[in-house]
Structure 1
Amino acid sequence: MKLKILTIISAFALTSCISVNVTENRGTTPETVSEKPKNIILLIGDGMGLSQVSASFYYNKEKTNFERFREIGLIKTSASSDTITDSAASATAYATGEKTYNGAIGVKNDTTAARTIVEILSEKNIATGLVATSSIVHATPASFFAHVRYRSMYEEIAEALPASDIDFFAGGGLQFFNKRTDEKDLLSSLISNGFDLHTEELPTLLSEKKQAILLAENGMPKILEGRGDFLPNATKLAIEHLSKNEDGFFLLVEGSQIDWGGHSNDADYLITEQLDFDKTIGVALDYAEKNGNTLVIVTADHETGGFTLAAKDGNYNEIVPSFSTGNHSTTLIPVFAKGPGDTLFNGIFDNTALFFKMMSFY
C-alpha cells in the first residue's frame, strides 16, 4: 500500500512539474505560438495601472474596449537604477529589451545605443509609426527612435527624426523642430528627407510619402481643453497609411496624459484621458478584427498617482477617486493582447520581456 501511495504521489508531482514548466514557457518561447501576426499595434497608457483601467468601466458611457480582451498578463516595471521606474527606462525596456536607468532614452546602462524595435523592423521593410498626445520627443515615443543619455535632451532627440526610417508620426513638439537654441530648421530637414509636413491639423488625405504631423508647440491640449478625437483619429490615420505596406507594420500609440493627470492628482484630468485612450483601443481592435492578421497589445509603462477607486464615506454604492502620491508607484501593471500570438502575453513577466515577445514574431 505504501509503495502504491508513493507511486501516485510521484506521478502527481511529475505532472505538476510538467504543468508548471508549460505555464512558465508559455509566453516566453515562440514555439508555443502557432500563428504570427503581420502587424503589431502597441498601445501604452502612460501611468495606467489597474485602477485607471477600472475607471474605464465605471466612468464610461459606452462599454469599455478592455472587455474585448481574453489574454491578460502582468508586468514588473522596475528600472536598473531604481525600484520605481520612470517612463524613459520603461519605454526603453519595451523598445530595446534592455534594463536601464531612469531617464535613459534608447541607451543601455553604459549609455551606449541599444537598437530599437522600430530600427530593427524598418530594416526588414516593415512600416513603422508613432502617435502620442505628448510631444513626439517625450520619453515614451522618443525611446523607440532616439539614443540619448537623458530624457530632457529634447532638441537632440528631435534631431533623430528627419533621417529616421519612421514612416508616420503624429503628436506635439513643434518647438523642438523650429524654435531651437541652435537655430537649426528641422522642419526643412523633415521635408528634404521625404516627409510630408502637417502643422495645422490632422490631414484627411495622405500621399504615399512619409508623414510628419506636429500639431502643438509641446504636448497636445488636454481632452478637457478641447483636444477632441486627436488620438483615435491619428491612430486610424496611421493605420490607414502604414497598412499599405505589403510587408506589414509596427505602430506605437501612447495615451500620454493619463500620467499627467496622475501626477497632478486630478481625477477629472486622468479619467477623461483614460476614456480617450479606451476609445483609441477600440480603433485598433476594430481594424485588427477586420484585418485578421494584426496583434493588438495594450499596456502601461508604470502606474502614476497611487490612484484608487474607493467607497465614498463608507457608502459601497458610491465610488470616489483618490490618490496616495504625486509620483509613480511600483505596482504591477496589466498587459492585454488580442490577435495572432496573443497567448504569449499571459502570465507575469519583466518589462524587458515585452520586446523579446514581440521580436519572436520576426
Structure 2
Amino acid sequence: MNKLIWLLLLLAFLVFSFTQFWSCRPEQVEQQKVKNLIIMIGDGMGFQQLGLLNAYVKYAPHSIYIARKRTSALEQVIAAGELGFVYHEAANALVTDSAAASSQMASGQWTGVEMLGADVSGNPVITILEKAKQHGKATGLVSDTRITHATPAGFIVHQANRYDENNIALKLGASGIDVLLSGGLRHWIPQSVNEPDSHQARLIKTMISDSFPLESKRKDERNLLREAKNKGYTLVFNRQQLQRTNTDQLLGLFSNSIMPDAIQESALKHDPDRNFPTLKELALKAMEILSRNEEGFFLMIESGQIDFACHNNDAGRLLHEMIRFDETIAAVYNWVQQRDDTMLIITADHETGGVSFSYARHNIPQPKDLPGKLFSHTQFKPNYNYGHHQLLDKLYHQKASYNAIFDIFDSLPSEQQTPDRLAEIVNAHLEFKITPHDAMTILTREINEYYQPEHKYLKIRTFPKINDFREFYVYGNRIRANILARIVAKDQMTVWSTGTHTNTPVPLIVLGSQQSSDGFSKLLHSTEWAQQAMNVFVPE
C-alpha cells in the first residue's frame, strides 16, 4: 500500500514538473518577448545590390566607410542575426511586382500580381499590421517613395489594383495607422489645387509652408489632409516640423510625389537648411512615437528608391540608395540593440535590374613587373580588364541621377535640346563621359522605340529603327536612362540584364532572440517567412 502511495506521488510530481517545463519552455518565453517587430524592405534589393555596396565599403579608396572600419550596418546585422534566402514569385507567375510582393510579405498568403491585400482569388486577407492593431499595438509605415505606393499599401490596403493611388490615400487616411511618413501629397489634396489662385491652392500652400511645389492627382475636391486632421493626426510637411512634433498620431508627407533621391540626400544631409527629412530621420521619429505604446508596435520601413535606380540601370544612384538604406539600418540596429523585446527583419520584395560588375576586353591593363618569384622572367599580363577599385569612387561621385540629368535636358528650349548639349549635361554630372555621338544614339533610340515628341534638332534626320530595348524596358521615355547605362557600362564595368524585376532570390536577415529567429536561416518563400513572423509577433 505504501509503495502504491509513493508511486502515485512520484507520478504526480513528474506530471507537475513536465507541465511546468512545457508551459515555460524557452520557445514560449522568448516568443512572448517579441513585443515589437520592425520590417525593413530594400525594394529591388537582391544579393547583387548588396554586392555593389560591399565592394564600395571594402575597396573604394576613399570610401565613407573607412572611419567605420570598412564595415556596413548590413554586415553587422548579418553577423549578429540569421541569414536566409527568399524566393518571391507571385501566384501563378514567374516574377512578382511590388504590390503582390508586399501583400505576400504582409499577409503570408499567395497573391496575384498588381493586387493589394488579397489572396489568389482576389479576396481580402488580414495583414500583420492589421493583426498588430487587433492586439492593441501601435503601427507605422515609412517610405522614401510615396505612402500610396505599392509596398506601403500592401500592408493595409485591400484593392484589386495598385495603380489607383487616390483610393489608396483614402484608405490610408481611414486606416487608423498611428504613423505615416513618406511622400505623395498629390493624392491627398483637392483637384482645384492645380489652379494656383484657387482657395484650395492658397489653403494647402499655407499648410505646407512652401516646402515643395504642389500638383494634385485627384479627380475630386476631397481634402484628405483636413479629414486626417479631423481624425486626430498631426500633419507635418518638412524636416523642421517633423523635429518639433511630439504626438502619438502623425501624418508626414514631404514631397508631392517621391522624396528626393539618395544622391540629393547625400549632398544635403549635413546642410542645416535642408528642408526634407532623411529616411533615417523618418525611421527614428517613427520608433520614438510607436515605442510609447506599452503593448508594443509594428513598423515597416521601405527604402523604395533602390528599385527606381535599378529600373533605370543607374549604378551611381544605386550605390547612394544602398548607402541611404544602410545608414537607416545602422540607426534602427542601434535602437534594437538596446532592447530584448524587438525583432528586426531586413529583406527585399524582389530583385530589380540584374546588376553586376563584369570583366571585359575594354581598356585591358598594360603589362607590369611583379616582385614575386613566379614573375622573375615574365610580366603580369591579364587577358581581360577585371576592373579597378577607383571606379567605385567614381560611382559615388555621381552628382545627379539619370532622371535628374534628363530633367535638366528636357527643361531646355527645344532648339537647345541637341546631342552636344545632352553630352555636356551628362559629363557635368558623371565621372564616366559620353560623346555627342553617344548622345545622338540615346535620342535616336528613344524616338524610334517609343515615338516620343521629336526633338527639333532631330526632325530633319531619318534613323534606322532599333528594337533591342522594347520587351524588358517598359517605362516609356525612361528608356533613355537605360540606353545611357549601356553606353557608360564599358567604363563602369557594370552590366544589367533588364529594366524590370527578376525572380532572383533575395536576402532575409533576422535579428531577435535565438528561439524567435530560429527557422529563418534557410530558403523560404515570402509567404513562409511572413507566417513565421506572425507566429512570433501576433500568435493566434
Q: Judge same fold: TM > 0.5, yes or no.
A: yes
Q: Is the 8 A contact 2:248 2:290 kept in 1?
A: no
Matches within 5 A, 1:280-295: 280-295=328-343
Q: Which residue does 1:339 correspond to in 2?
A: 512
Could you give the per-residue CA deviations for residues 61-92 of structure 1, whole angstroms, max 9, x where no partner exists?
Answer: 32211112231000111111310111110100
Match of 2:129 among 109, 118, 132: 118
**Residue-by-residue CA offset, 1:300-320 (whole Å, 9 max, x unaligned):** 000000011233553446363
Contact in 2 for aligned 1:288/1:339 (Cα 8 Å):
no
Match for residue 164 of structure 2? 153
Compared CA separation, residues 312 and 235, structure 1 to 2 (3 A): farther
Aligned length: 333
1:98 CA displacement: 1.5
Q: Percent identity?
A: 33
- Which structure has more helix as a fraction of its residues? 2
- Say yes or no: does 1:164 pair with 2:159: no
- 1:72·1:346 contact (CA, 8 Å) conserved in 2? yes
The question of 1:96 aligning with 2:93 is answered no
Q: Who is 1:18 aligned against?
A: none
1:109, CA displacement in angstroms? 2.3
Deviations 1:258-277 (A, max 9, x none): 00111001101111101100
Contact 1:194 1:209 (8 Å CA) reproduced: no
- The SS at the match of 1:122 is helix
Number of the residue aligned with 1:231: 279
Secondary structure in structure 2 of the residue aligned to 1:213: strand
Higher relative contact order (CA 8 A, sep 6+): 1
Does residue 351 (structure 1) correspond to residue 351 (structure 2)? The answer is no
1:321 corresponding residue in structure 2: 494
Instruction: Give the conservation status (yes or no) of the 8 Å contact 2:52–2:356.
Output: no
Q: Comparing 157-166 with 212-221, which one deviates more in the overlay?
A: 157-166
Distance 1:342 1:34 in 2: 13
Q: Please say which of residues 276-285 and 109-118 is displaced more in the overlay.
A: 109-118
Q: Which runs of 5+ in 2 are unaligned?
A: 1-24, 58-63, 66-70, 190-215, 270-276, 362-383, 390-492
Q: 1:46 Cα deviation (Å)?
A: 0.3
Report the Cα distance in structure 2 between the residues aligned to 1:222 and 1:126, rounded to whole angstroms: 32
User: After the TM superposition, which of the residue ranges 194-203 and 231-240 deviates more from structure 2?
Assistant: 194-203
Q: What value does the CA root-mean-square deviation take over the aligned residues? A: 1.8
Q: Confirm whether residue 35 of structure 1 aligns to residue 33 of structure 2.
A: no
| Deviations 1:38-79, CA, capped at 9 Å, x for gaps | 111100000000010122212233221111223100011111
The amino acid of 2:38's aligned partner reads I
Q: TM-score, normalised by structure 1?
A: 0.88
Q: Is the 8 A contact 1:298 1:337 kept in 2?
A: yes
1:182 alignment counterpart: 220
TM-fit CA distance, 1:107: 1.5
Residue 268, structure 1, aligned to residue 279, structure 2:
no
Q: Is the strand fraction higher in 1 or 2?
A: 1
Out of 41, 45, 49, the position equivalent to 1:48 is: 45
Quote the residue 1:257 is aligned against: 305
Question: Which structure 1 segments of 5+ residues have no match?
Answer: 1-29
- State how 1:37-76 maps to structure 2 within 5 Å: 37-60=34-57, 61-62=64-65, 63-68=71-76, 69=78, 70-76=81-87
SS at match of 2:388: strand
**Aligned residues of 1:137 and 1:157 also touching (Cα < 8 A):** yes
Task: Letter of the 1:136 partner, please give it.
Answer: I
- The normalised TM-score by structure 2 is 0.59
Moved segments of 4+, more than 3 Å? 30-34, 226-229, 311-317
Classify 1:124/1:52 alpha carbon distance in 2 versus 1 (closer, same or farther; 3 Å).
same
Which protein shows a greater Rg?
2
